[in-house]
Every structure is written in C-alpha cells, then in structure tokens.
C-alpha cells in the first residue's frame, strides 16, 4: 500500500514538472513576437552603398507596432526603407509580413570587417530575434580598367596599324567615356571603331555598370617613308565629370620594307648580237627598300642552246639605299635564227625579288655576201687590166 502511494506521488510530481517545462517553453516561444529574416548574412564588397533585403513577420494573432534598434559601427550610416521611403516605425496586423530594405552607407570607411545588428522593439522591449549581418570591405579598384590583347603591333611603312582594347566598368552605374589617342607626328588618325568588323568611326562609347565593352579598335596609318623602329601610341579614355582619366601606352613596330630594283646601265632593255657571238650587259642591283636585304642571287633564263653567265652571281648583302653592279654575258648558239628573243634576268633573296626582261636581236653573218663583194672587186680589176693591155682604156 505504501509502495502504491509513493508511486502515485512520484507520478504527480512528474506530471507537474512536464507541465511547468511546457509552460516555460511556450512562454519562451511567445516572447518572440516578431521575426526578422534576411537571406544575406555576410557580404564582401568595395566601399559603396549596400542594400540588404529584410523581411519582418508578426508571429502572434495581435496587431503590433514596432520600431527598430540597430547597432551600427562608427563611419557608417543606416536606413530602413519601404520602397523608396525611409521608415522608423511600422504596424503589422496579426500574422502579417512586410518586405523592407536595410541600407548601409559607408562614410569614411577603410578596409576591414564590420558587424551590424538589427532587432524589433515594442514599448521599449525587444520582441524579436537579433539579426546580425557581417560586411567585409575590400580595397577599391579603379572605376574603369583597360585591357589589351597585345601592347605591340608590327607592320611595314604604308600600312594600317590596328590596336584592339577592352574597357571594363568596375562601377555601379553606366558610363559614357571619351576616346582619344596620341601617335607619332606625320601619321594619320583613322579613328576608333566599335569592333574590328565595323567601318563607322566613334568618339565615345557607353559601358554599362559592372560589364566590359570588348574589342574596341583604334586604327592609325603609317606613312611610306617611316623609318624602321618602335613608335609610341597612347590610347586615352576619360570622363571629366566622374574624374576618370586612364591612359594606356602601346607601341607600333615598323619593320621596314625590303625591295630590290634590278636594271641595266642606262636603263636599256634591247640589245643586238650576232649568232655565235657574245654580248656583255652591265647590270645594277639597288636596295630601294627601307631595310637591309640579305644574300642576293642573280639568275638568267635564255633560249635553249644559248650560253649565259652573271658575274658575280651572288651579292652577300645590300644595306638600305646602296647599290652594286654585275655583268651579264649572253652568247646565242651559232645556229640561232635571226630575230628577236626574250631573256629574263632575276635578282632574288629571301627578303625580296625583282625580274626584268631583255629583248635580244640576233643577226646572221652572211659569208656569201662577203664572197660576192670580193668577186665583184676582182672582176672590176680584171676588166681594167684587159683594157690597159689592149690599149682601149
């Protein structure tokens, strides 16, 4: 009997404890009348205004008027916005939610980690969870940055040098940027183009926030007489109202133009020679390009059976603007038929080549004509001798 009584007492105590714990838990739950929620709890950014979505929910079946308590580090300013309006106090019906924006503005903020907390108050007491948001401020980058696939472009005098570049807008608003260039004196500005495949010329370009404008092109013409070497070309992107001025230095590498000019002395292209005879033709090889020409070989192409030779047949090298001479020897075959023939002469190197064509007129030696002249002369002398002997002169 005593055991039954003791068990009954223990059961009553257990039920009392369970009920008490439930009431405490219910009281603790009901103390959180407002719920603050944001999907963003930590963010890393450069110094700028930060907008964080905030949802405020009334968890109880009663209307609640609430204000906000915010812990904000020095050097920052905060606002709670409903649409475009700044709010400090709101009213929520039972079980109602509202979407707000928690805005953080840096004033004189340096790099580092900053923590912000916000909670809801009603009649001076906290009735919500405390929402903590962490913000890491990183080193600010330039408002714009210019990227080029290559800082050097090569070409020869008399050609167009095309420089490609990309502009990245690192800011949070669209920018209209002016385009300008600096290039060598005497060169010709062909302008900026939106891409290498377009022909229209532009003087400015709009780059959207947090995006890159790709493959802008600047074309400049190098005049024919430009000396080989490196020339500076600068591209300038600016926006005075935003304090933007960026210059990127590029180089145009003028490689020079190798060019050989082959000609005969006095620029003659027609010559006469007897069949089986030989003719010597003086040649002049000149470097008329803008760079040194390496080893030059001389070749002659004549009709079959003819004999040709060029002395010297090779020139070790020829600096810019200099010339040298050679001799071409042509011997037609003894049986060559009288008439005009073409003979080609070529100066060739790995850098450049030039060819000229000569007209060679072959004449035939008439031995019977010479014999006929001798016979006529002999006949005249014979007649004179006969007249003299017989006295009839």
Which candidate, 310, 318, 312, places its Cα nearest to that of 293? 318
pLDDT digits (tens, 9 = 90+) for 307-323: 999 999 999 989 988 99
Q: Which CATH number belongs to the domain containing residue 234 in this structure?
A: 2.60.40.3880
Which domain does 200 fall in, by range? 144-254
Does the structure show a pLDDT above 60 at 60? Answer: yes
Same-domain status, 274 and 330: yes
Of 197, 231, 254, which residue sits at a domain end? Answer: 254
Q: What token pair was written down for 12?
A: 């009553």
- The answer to whether residue 374 sits within a structural domain is no
Q: What token pair was written down for 50?
A: 């930060």
- The answer to whether residue 157 sits within a structural domain is yes
> For residue 198, is it left (φ>0), alpha (ψ between -120 and 50) or beta?
beta
Same-domain status, 282 and 349: yes
Which candidate, 295, 291, 271, 294, places its Cα nearest to that of 281? 271
Same-domain status, 131 and 149: no
Which candidate, 234, 201, 196, places its Cα nearest to that of 216? 196
Q: Which residues 6+ apart lie within 8 Å of 392 measured at CB?
A: none
Which candidate, 130, 137, 146, 57, places its Cα nearest to that of 105? 137
- Of the ranges 69-78, 87-96, 138-147, which one carries the lowest mean pLDDT score? 138-147
Does the structure show a pLDDT above 50 at 263? Answer: yes
- The answer to whether residue 348 sits within a structural domain is yes
Task: Judge contact between 285 and 347, C-beta under 8 A.
Answer: yes
Of 118, 137, 156, which residue sits at a domain end? Answer: 137
Amino acid 366: pLDDT: 56
State the average pLDDT over residues 360-365: 84
Q: Which CATH number belongs to the domain containing residue 287 in this structure?
A: 2.60.40.10
Structural domains of the chain, count: 3
State the average pLDDT over residues 289-296: 88
The answer to whether the pTM exceeds 0.85 is: no
- The answer to whether residue 383 sits within a structural domain is no
Amino acid 25: pLDDT: 40
Amino acid 6: pLDDT: 54
Same-domain status, 102 and 195: no
pLDDT digits (tens, 9 = 90+) for 25-38: 433 444 689 999 99
Same-domain status, 239 and 219: yes
pLDDT digits (tens, 9 = 90+) for 363-381: 876 554 566 677 788 777 7
Same-domain status, 152 and 212: yes
Task: Judge contact between 252 and 222, C-beta under 8 A.
Answer: yes
Which candidate, 323, 314, 197, 194, places its Cα nearest to that of 262? 323
- The answer to whether residue 389 sits within a structural domain is no
Q: How far from the centroid of its chain's Cα atoms is residue 53's Cα?
A: 41
Distances in whole angstroms, Cα of residue 254 to Cα of each of 89, 156, 217, 292, 349: 71, 5, 19, 14, 21
Alpha-carbon span 39 to 42, nearest angstrom = 9
Same-domain status, 40 and 103: yes
> How far separated are the first and last CA of the chain, in Å rounded?
201
């Amino acid at each position: 009997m005593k055991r039954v009584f003791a068990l009954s007492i223990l059961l009553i105590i257990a039920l009392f404890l369970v009920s008490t714990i439930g009431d405490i838990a219910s009281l603790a739950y009901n103390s959180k009348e407002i719920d603050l929620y944001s999907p963003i709890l930590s963010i890393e950014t450069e110094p700028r205004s930060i907008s964080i979505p905030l949802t405020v929910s009334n968890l109880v079946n009663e209307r609640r008027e609430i204000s906000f308590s915010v812990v904000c580090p020095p050097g920052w300013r905060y606002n709670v916005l409903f649409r475009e309006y700044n709010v400090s106090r709101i009213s929520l019906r039972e079980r109602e939610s509202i979407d707000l924006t928690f805005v953080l503005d840096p004033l004189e903020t340096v790099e580092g980690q900053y923590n912000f907390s916000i909670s809801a108050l009603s009649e001076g007491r906290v009735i919500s969870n405390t929402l903590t948001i962490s913000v890491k401020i990183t080193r600010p980058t330039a408002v714009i940055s210019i990227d080029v696939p290559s800082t050097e472009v090569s070409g020869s005098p008399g050609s167009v040098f095309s420089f490609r570049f990309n502009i990245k807008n690192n800011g949070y608003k669209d920018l209209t940027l002016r385009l300008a260039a600096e290039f060598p004196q005497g060169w010709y500005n062909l302008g900026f183009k939106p891409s290498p495949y377009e022909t229209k010329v532009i003087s400015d370009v709009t780059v959207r926030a947090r995006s890159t404008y790709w493959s802008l092109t600047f074309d400049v013409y190098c005049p024919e007489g430009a000396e080989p070497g490196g020339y500076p070309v600068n591209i300038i992107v600016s926006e005075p109202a935003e304090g933007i001025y960026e210059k990127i230095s590029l180089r145009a590498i003028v490689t020079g133009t190798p060019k050989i000019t082959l000609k005969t002395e006095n620029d003659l292209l027609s010559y006469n020679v007897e069949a089986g005879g030989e003719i010597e033709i003086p040649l002049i090889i000149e470097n008329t390009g803008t760079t040194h020409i390496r080893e030059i070989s001389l070749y002659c192409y004549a009709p079959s059976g003819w004999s040709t030779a060029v002395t010297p047949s090779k020139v070790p090298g020829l600096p810019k603007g200099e010339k040298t001479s050679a001799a071409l020897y042509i011997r037609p075959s003894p049986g060559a038929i009288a008439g005009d023939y073409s003979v080609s002469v070529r100066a060739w190197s790995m850098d450049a080549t030039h060819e000229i064509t000569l007209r060679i007129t072959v004449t035939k030696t008439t031995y019977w004509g010479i014999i006929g002249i001798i016979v006529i002369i002999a006949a005249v002398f014979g007649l004179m001798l006969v007249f003299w002997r017989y006295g009839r002169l």
